Amino acid sequence: EAGVTQFPSHSVIEKGQTVTLRCDPISGHDNLYWYRRVMGKEIKFLLHFVKESKQDESGMPNNRFLAERTGGTYSTLKVQPAELEDSGVYFCASSQFGQRGDEQFFGPGTRLTVL
């Protein structure tokens, strides 16, 4: 069974540009999460999809971040325009049932560098 995959693995962009990160969850997992770890800080929750609906987006830092999950399969996270403080590793995770305490399966992350 394939795990959670993320693309690209690395992205280097200039401040002000746009970047789109993609996450493919484990097949059959309705729940998809985005987290990020900026340099020297903890991994922080961004948002949670149940199928195509945003269940919780309380962690989204500002309106420069737009997450979508059309069709309830893969998800994209767009940053527009990117700022220096957006640099970090963006993780995606998925779970099958979405109940509290469920194991979340993580992808390898996308390392974003904004210059």
Partner 1 sequence: AQKVTQAQTEISVVEKEDVTLDCVYETRDTTYYLFWYKQPPSGELVFLIRRNSFDEQNEISGRYSWNFQKSTSSFNFTITASQVVDSAVYFCALSEAMDNAGNMLTFGGGTRLMVKP
Residues of this chain that interact with partner 1 (CB under 8 A) are: 3-4, 9, 31, 33, 35, 41-45, 48, 55-56, 58-59, 89, 91, 93, 95, 98-109
Residue 70 neighbours by CB distance under 10 Å: 9
How many Cα neighbours within 13 Å face the side chain of 88? Answer: 18
Cβ proximity to partner 1, 19 vs 31, nearer residue: 31
Minimum distance from residue 61 beta carbon to partner 1 (Å): 14
Minimum distance from residue 110 beta carbon to partner 1 (Å): 9
Minimum distance from residue 22 beta carbon to partner 1 (Å): 16
Question: Which residue type is seen at 70?
Answer: T
Closest CA to 11 of 36, 32, 31: 36
